[in-house]
Amino acid sequence: MQLAPLASGEEDKGGGGGEGAADGEVASCKGLLSATPGPTPDPTPSHNNKVTPTPSMTLLATASTGGAGSVTHTTDIHVRETWNKKVEFLLAVIGFAVDLGNVWRFPYICYQNGGGAFLIPYCLMLVFGGLPLFYMELALGQFHRSGCLTIWRRICPALKGVGYAICLIDIYMGMYYNTIIGWAVYYLFASFRSELPWTSCGNSWNTENCVPVLNVSAQHANSTSPAQEFFTRSVLEQHLSDGLDHMGPIKLSLAVCVLAVFILVYFSLWKGVRSTGKVVWFTALMPYIVLFILLGRGVTLPGAADGIRYYLTPQWHKLYNSKVWIDAASQIFFSLGPGFGTLLALSSYNKFHNNCYRDAILTSSVNCLTSFLAGFVIFSVLGYMAHVQNKHIEDVGLEGPGLVFIVYPEAIATMSGSVFWSIIFFIMLITLGLDSTFGGLEAMITALCDEYPRVLGQHREKFVAGLLVFIYICSLPTCTYVSFIFRLKFIFLLQCDLMLLPGFCLVFRLIMRPRISIKR
């Protein structure tokens, strides 16, 4: 299948709007893009890969200004670097979509909104909301072969600010998301000892209210578990802060863990898709290996069947509640991640005639099935914890970080071979988080390098290093005693953007209605 598109927007000779683009002079622009081979260009390095470009594609753009006639521009567009293998692109997209939210958010949202009945609005929102946006972003990125800044300038120069808004969202994400991965790194290092530190109450950070999980008879209304005190008093040290007016100093151990995350991110992104394509083989596949291992262990635990039954039992009456449908839509947008510019960036490195429609269906389906699988992993353990503590399941489960940093480690501490289970669990969390932060930061890097190729694109390695140093410095407040409060504020901002920005992009794109003819 070949595309012969009539695209909106004028192609710049300099490759970037910040380097000589006359956006204000263009009232309307209609271009014919033909995939006919042109003369072999000079071996000019692109900003992503210093290789000799292959035959170029030719953009014949006709721009009319103020109704005073038309001017024809002919520009050679050097072929963009592409993924070495198609599977690397698929792994990168799946890795971005399948993140920590699939593990700690979907299971909670599912059982809170009707269990198995929730799958009906969830699938409907996927088909009519998430998948169209997902496909639209993949198609736009693959067609324009550039980042979000250049794409929005081509669609409508007045809305170039949408691209900058996407970059700001990516900075927010990098500031708080890497901190969460840093927590997982902290837990991973803490797991390399003969006994997990959140198993007993005899540590320096424990209080008199600490009661071991298995000591049910000693539990009371104000009792806390060792895992809860380890997270709040040892990792975050929230008890040393009274709020935002007393942030306290930066906790060095957390700052070092977050720095380790940024170093991993840098060496995964500095060479573009050449380096990212190699890393995703591990970061995208490792979570599935661990999920299946944890599922095999979880279903053998006492009480696991009760937890899974609680997870899947449909409560049909909840479908009459509008909140269930709103939660289904928010979960789809939260999980698939449209509006971050990541899908635009990743698909821009595809071959022009790649079947992105099939890719959208495949990757979005894998993402949703992964969320469903994670529910079995989580609820088998929640059923086990309810059995051990003689509680109802709804009294055990927590949403968000509390689920993966308190409840699940608490359950692991009661199992035989707890050190092994803890190590592989937090390796899974780290790889889940790394894939998502790769995608978010690559969206901003690709956008800026495409828009300013001479200033930034030709010095990608230095630019990526400087950008990550800047984001790391901005994220240091999340390593203070009020880090949890900062993280909640960032999540609130991002969830608002998740609902507003993709919806605005979809409505505007439907209004513009670009003419794309498909030739077989």
What would the pLDDT profile of 424-472 be if each residue is shown by its tens digit? 999 999 999 999 999 999 999 999 999 998 888 888 899 999 999 999 9
The pLDDT value recorded for residue 498 is 52
Considering only residues 63 and 272, tell me which one the structure prediction assigns the higher pLDDT.
Answer: 272
Residue 205 has pLDDT above 60, yes or no: yes
The pLDDT value recorded for residue 377 is 92
Please indicate if the annotation marks 335 as binding a ligand: yes
The pLDDT value recorded for residue 249 is 82
Arithmetic mean of pLDDT over the chain: 79
> How far is 78 from 132, CA to CA, in rounded Å?
30
Residue 42 has pLDDT above 80, yes or no: no
Residue 173 has pLDDT above 90, yes or no: no
Question: Which pLDDT band holds residue 371 (cuts at 50, 70, 90)?
Answer: very high
Token code pair at residue 165: 């808004």
> How far is 420 from 161, CA to CA, in rounded Å?
48
The pLDDT value recorded for residue 79 is 60
> How far is 56 from 40, CA to CA, in rounded Å?
7
> How far is 64 from 398, CA to CA, in rounded Å?
59
The separation between CA 483 and the C-alpha centre of its own chain, rounded to angstroms, equals: 20
Please indicate if the annotation marks 321 as binding a ligand: no
> How far is 7 from 192, CA to CA, in rounded Å?
56
Contact present, 495 and 330 (Cβ < 8 Å)? yes
The pLDDT value recorded for residue 7 is 41
Residue 23 has pLDDT above 70, yes or no: no
Contact present, 342 and 96 (Cβ < 8 Å)? yes
Token code pair at residue 204: 């320096």
What is the distance in angstroms between the CA of the first residue and the CA of the last residue of the chain?
5
Considering only residues 361 and 390, tell me which one the structure prediction assigns the higher pLDDT.
Answer: 361
How large is the C-alpha radius of gyration of the chain? 25
User: How is the chain split into domains, by residue range?
Assistant: 86-187+252-519
Contact present, 396 and 378 (Cβ < 8 Å)? no
Q: What class, spelled out in words, does domain 86-187+252-519 have in CATH?
A: mainly alpha
Q: What is the DSSP string of 464-508?
A: HHHHHHHHHHHHGGGGSTTHHHHHHHHHHHHHHHHHHHHHHHHHH
Largest CA distance in the chain: 87
Per-residue pLDDT, averaged over 350-356, amounts to 91
Token code pair at residue 81: 């670097």
Please indicate if the annotation marks 435 as binding a ligand: yes
Residue 322 has pLDDT above 70, yes or no: yes
Question: Which pLDDT band holds residue 184 (cuts at 50, 70, 90)?
Answer: very high
Considering only residues 500 and 179, tell me which one the structure prediction assigns the higher pLDDT.
Answer: 179
Please indicate if the annotation marks 330 as binding a ligand: no
The pLDDT value recorded for residue 402 is 79
Closest CA to 331 of 176, 122, 135: 122
Partnered with residue 49 across adjacent β-strands are none
> How far is 167 from 292, CA to CA, in rounded Å?
35
Question: Which pLDDT band holds residue 32 (cuts at 50, 70, 90)?
Answer: very low
Please indicate if the annotation marks 223 as binding a ligand: no
Q: What is the pLDDT of residues 253-307, one digit of tens each?
A: 999 999 999 999 999 998 888 888 899 999 999 999 999 999 999 999 999 999 9
Contact present, 93 and 344 (Cβ < 8 Å)? no
Contact present, 149 and 160 (Cβ < 8 Å)? yes
The pLDDT value recorded for residue 374 is 92
Residue 52 has pLDDT above 70, yes or no: no
Closest CA to 291 of 368, 370, 367, 363: 370
**DSSP-derived secondary structure letter, 409:** H
Contact present, 336 and 367 (Cβ < 8 Å)? yes
The pLDDT value recorded for residue 518 is 40
Dihedral in degrees, nearest 10, Cα atoms 338, 341, 343, 344: 130
Per-residue pLDDT, averaged over 357-361, amounts to 94
Q: What is the pTM of this model?
A: 0.79
Please indicate if the annotation marks 367 as binding a ligand: yes
The SS3 assignment for 61 reads strand
Please indicate if the annotation marks 97 as binding a ligand: yes
Neighbours of 433 (CB within 10 A): 24
> How far is 301 from 312, CA to CA, in rounded Å?
18
> How far is 327 from 316, CA to CA, in rounded Å?
16
Residue 80 has pLDDT above 80, yes or no: no
> Which distant-in-sequence residues (6+ apart) come within 8 Å of 294 by Cβ?
377, 421, 424, 425, 428
Residue 22 has pLDDT above 80, yes or no: no
Contact present, 519 and 355 (Cβ < 8 Å)? no
Look-up of token digits 């799958």: 119
Closest CA to 138 of 449, 357, 366: 357
Please indicate if the annotation marks 216 as binding a ligand: no
The pLDDT value recorded for residue 116 is 85
Question: Which pLDDT band holds residue 478 (cuts at 50, 70, 90)?
Answer: confident
Per-residue pLDDT, averaged over 233-243, amounts to 79
